[in-house]
Structure 1
């Protein structure tokens, strides 16, 4: 990675399946995604995702599995 990229700002984004990603802070968020609320460097955003995204299964799968367990 080039040093000029170290200061680039990102935001954490989330889709309807509660899957996380990062997106450049200065760009429009793509359709199907919404801002989660965290902004910072790439490393800061990825560290936040590592903390909060503990179940990698899509929301629809988690809900379907919970119904089977009920």
Structure 2
């Protein structure tokens, strides 16, 4: 990763996050979340919002199993 580049934070349909260079096209299956900045700023944002590393589909299955 380029320390002087501008990054953006992306999220996929499983609620997983990634840093992506801001000047590149967003890859299929990923969506911008509106955060852009340095690598450190974007990483700090991801650390703040991504508190459950499990993919969304796994969380949903586990919630259904515990509700049964």
Normalised-by-shorter TM-score class: over 0.9
Q: TM-score normalized by structure 1?
A: 0.90
* Deviation beyond 3 Å, 4+ runs, structure 1: none
For structure 2, the residue ranges without an aligned partner over 5 or more in a row are none
Partner residue of 1:19?
Answer: 16
Q: State the superposition RMSD in angstroms.
A: 1.2
Q: TM-score normalized by structure 2?
A: 0.92
Higher helix share: 1
Per-residue displacement from partner, 1:7-40 (whole Å, max 9, x unpaired)?
3100000000000000000010001100011000
How many residue pairs align between the two structures? 67
